[in-house]
Amino acid sequence: MSRSQITRGARVTQSDVSAARRSPDGRRDDDGCPILHVDMDAFFASCELRSRPDLVGLPVIVGGDGSRGVVTAATYEARTYGIHSAMPMSRAKRLCPDVVILPPDFALYSEVSAGVMAVFRDITPLVEPLSLDEAFLDVSGAVRRLGPPAVIAEQIRARVHDEQGITCTVGVAPTKFVAKLASTRAKPDGLLVVPSDRVIAFLHPLPVGALWGVGEKTEEVLLRLGLTTVGDIAHTPLDTLVRALGPASGQHLHDLSWGRDPRHVTPPAAEKSVGNEETFPRDVDDPEVIRRELLRLSEKVASRLRAQGYAGRTVVLKVRFADFSTITRSRTLRSATDVGREIYATAVALYDALGLQRARIRLVGVRAEGIVDADEAPRQMLLDEPEVGWREAEQAVDRASARFGRGSVLPARLLGTGGDDGYGGAPAPPRPR
DNA sequence: TCTGGGGTCCTTCAGCTC
DNA sequence: TCTGGAGCTGAAGGACCC
């Protein structure tokens, strides 16, 4: 019996697909299953409960409590009420009026995540984090040292529990995609091994929505074709899938349905874009408020770029209107930048070019794409740019922020009421959340 | 019911160059 | 000189993931 079954009552599924057992010929089920997918259980909520043991066993959700907040994480007790992540807070509260709501503490989650990832890297250097709370591991190089994959999976579960005080679920399989499905089906606090000779039997009864890349829209298309299970997709001609979903998605789903997933576990590459967006507490139709928010977002994006040593060449403006329709506009600069003023100037030019009069806007966002190392980015000097320009000024702001805290130095336009807010003494518009 | 925020990838289309 | 196709890039939008 596995450690988890002894100590934590884990659900180690042992039906068609089993936790590692030996076959009559002496072969282990986890032979040929070097890929592990490790997923923390209700991660944000679990982190909070470490310091709030009085809440263990209660329905608890993490998320913004504002008028437009959504659920970021929910304990399994909260999920019994039908609450799930991304659900509007208002609805969650209606489903469970007694639910305990905690504000998110991303610094805490990052700290716990770093501890968990350190456990993974202690096992194997081949770790591919997907987010703060999950990662793929390729343990093929660790088998001789630590034992078969299922044994390694149990070691990981035990160490995460003992060192970080939270539980996790591990899927063990020949490929990334099957390992991920396995962990999903073993949740919470479980371990599931899908042996290579059982992959098809495991996959084909699953609903199409279980496949990676099948969301609401794709599921609709598949259901219209009469395809309800992964097995249905597998037995549909590739041409039909390509016609319905496009060449990339069609081929991708067909491959997955037969358990084919050639992707390796690769440590993360550099980021491809950096952006920030903000939903206003109430829809806004004042262009000056929008411009001020664009300035704030541009400064934030630039600051993040500089902190990581990046610069971006394409600036993307995102606008979501009151009816939730969304548009993007982008402009590629002659050279990459990490200067907030340049990003802002581009974003606001894109916004002005939209020619919106008093359209009611719900959200604005600014994103920098075409990321390169700032050191390698050629600098485009402007004709009127002084020797010491905005870049140097913003670097000085970074140093001040590091010393005195974020927000210690702000553009005058972003200062609050009661002072020179850049509007000649007019009342400052409401700040987004 | 009323939808956050941070990202990636794919598709389509238009414009440009050869 | 004109035309059409191929190939590339940028822009825009959409779907998806956590």
Across chain A, what does the average pLDDT equal?
A: 84
Do A328 and A231 reside in the same domain of the chain?
A: no
Do A233 and A321 reside in the same domain of the chain?
A: no
Inter-residue contact A185 to A192 (CB < 8 Å): yes
Return the pLDDT at A433. Answer: 32
How far in angstroms lies nucleotide B13's C1' from the CA of residue A251? 23
Q: Which residues contact A312 (CB under 8 A, 6 or more apart)?
A: A273, A274, A301, A305, A336, A337, A338, A343, A368, A369, A370, A371, A372
**Rounded-to-integer distance, Cα A168 and Cα A429, Å:** 45
Query: E-assigned strands of A184-244?
Result: 191-193
Do A250 and A277 reside in the same domain of the chain?
A: no
pLDDT: which is higher, A106 or A393: A106
Do A312 and A407 reside in the same domain of the chain?
A: yes
Weakest mean pLDDT among A11-20, A58-67, A260-269: A11-20
Q: Which of residues 188-227 of A touch strand C (CB under 7 A)?
A: 211-219
How far in angstroms lies nucleotide C6's C1' from the CA of residue A55? 64
**Rounded-to-integer distance, Cα A253 and Cα A218, Å:** 10
Element (H, E) at A329: strand A326-337
Element (H, E) at A186: helix A176-186
Do A298 and A408 reside in the same domain of the chain?
A: yes
**Rounded-to-integer distance, Cα A135 and Cα A225, Å:** 34
How far in angstroms lies nucleotide B6's C1' from the CA of residue A313? 19
Give the residue ranges with Cβ < 7 A from strand B: A 64, 67-70, 72, 85-86, 88, 90-91, 246-249, 271-279, 304, 324, 362-363, 365, 367, 433
Q: Measured from the CB, is A332 under 7 Å from any atom of strand C? A: yes
Strands A361-373 and A60-63: unpaired
Using a pLDDT cut of 90, give the percent of chain A over it. Answer: 61
- Grade residue A16 by pLDDT with cuts at 50, 70 and 90: very low
Residue A130 lies in a domain: no
Residue A340 lies in a domain: yes
A144-196 tens-digit pLDDT: 999 999 999 999 999 999 999 999 999 999 999 999 999 999 999 999 999 99
Query: E-assigned strands of A88-239?
Result: 100-102, 127-131, 134-138, 168-173, 191-193
Neighbour count for residue A65 (Cβ, 10 Å): 11
Strands A60-63 and A134-138: unpaired
Q: Is the pLDDT of residue A430 over 50?
A: no
User: In which region does residue A424 sit, left (phi positive, over 0), alpha (psi from -120 to 50) or beta (all else)?
Assistant: left
* Burial (CB count within 10 angstroms: exposed 0-12, middle 13-18, buried 19+), residue A229: middle
Return the pLDDT at A383. Answer: 47
Neighbour count for residue A93 (Cβ, 10 Å): 16
Which tokens in the block code for residue A109? 């989650």
User: A219 lies in which domain range?
Assistant: 204-257
Do A334 and A363 reside in the same domain of the chain?
A: yes
- Grade residue A431 by pLDDT with cuts at 50, 70 and 90: very low
- Name the closest nucleotide to A63, judged by C1' and CA: B4
A189-223 tens-digit pLDDT: 999 999 999 999 999 999 999 998 899 889 989 99
- Tokens 């009420």 correspond to A81
- Name the closest nucleotide to A363, judged by C1' and CA: B4
A236-247 tens-digit pLDDT: 999 899 888 888
How far in angstroms lies nucleotide B14's C1' from the CA of residue A330? 15
Return the pLDDT at A247. Answer: 86
Q: Is the pLDDT of residue A11 over 50?
A: no
How far in angstroms lies nucleotide B8's C1' from the CA of residue A275? 13
Instruction: Find the residue closest to B12 using CA and C1' atoms.
Output: A246
Instruction: Return the ∠ at Cα A149 (arms to A199 and A194), rounded to 5°.
Output: 15
Using a pLDDT cut of 70, give the percent of chain A over it. Answer: 82
Do A327 and A224 reside in the same domain of the chain?
A: no
Max intra-chain CA distance, chain A: 84
Return the pLDDT at A208. Answer: 93
Return the pLDDT at A405. Answer: 65
Do A282 and A397 reside in the same domain of the chain?
A: yes
**Rounded-to-integer distance, Cα A219 and Cα A221, Å:** 5
- Report the CATH number at residue A208: 1.10.150.20
Region A385-399: mean pLDDT is 66
A207 secondary structure, DSSP code? B
Q: Measured from the CB, is A25 under 7 Å from any atom of strand C? A: no
A265 secondary structure, DSSP code? P
Residue A168 lies in a domain: no
- Grade residue A403 by pLDDT with cuts at 50, 70 and 90: low
Residue A248 lies in a domain: yes
Handedness of CA A411, A414, A418, A424 (dihedral sign): positive
pLDDT: which is higher, A21 or A313: A313
Q: Which of A48, A128, A134, A394 is catalytic?
A: A134
Inter-residue contact A172 to A150 (CB < 8 Å): yes
Residue A38 lies in a domain: no
Return the pLDDT at A20. Answer: 60
Residue A400 lies in a domain: yes
Do A210 and A278 reside in the same domain of the chain?
A: no
A329-365 tens-digit pLDDT: 999 988 889 999 999 999 999 999 888 878 899 999 9
Domain count, chain A: 2
**Rounded-to-integer distance, Cα A112 and Cα A165, Å:** 9
Weakest mean pLDDT among A104-118, A160-174, A364-378: A364-378
Q: Measured from the CB, is A328 under 7 Å from any atom of strand C? A: yes
A324-349 in b/e form (b: 16+ CB < 10 A) is: eeeeebeeebeebbbbbbbbbbbbbe
How far in angstroms lies nucleotide B10's C1' from the CA of residue A404? 44
Do A277 and A252 reside in the same domain of the chain?
A: no
How far in angstroms lies nucleotide C15's C1' from the CA of residue A371? 23
| DSSP result, A266-318 | ------SEEEEEEEEEEEE--HHHHHHHHHHHHHHHHHHHHHHTEEEEEEEEE
**Rounded-to-integer distance, Cα A267 and Cα A151, Å:** 23
Q: Measured from the CB, is A327 under 7 Å from any atom of strand C? A: yes
Q: Strand B: which nucleotides have any atom within 7 A of a protein Cβ?
A: 1-12
A20-38 in b/e form (b: 16+ CB < 10 A) is: beeeeeeebbbbebbbbbb
Handedness of CA A344, A347, A349, A351 (dihedral sign): negative
Residue A111 among the catalytic residues: no
- Name the closest nucleotide to A90, judged by C1' and CA: B1
Q: Measured from the CB, is A314 under 7 Å from any atom of strand C? A: yes
Return the pLDDT at A387. Answer: 53
Residue A297 lies in a domain: yes
- Name the closest nucleotide to A213, judged by C1' and CA: C16
pLDDT: which is higher, A197 or A431: A197
Return the pLDDT at A429. Answer: 34
Element (H, E) at A245: helix A238-245
Q: How far is CA A99 from CA A73, A90, A432, in A?
A: 12, 11, 26
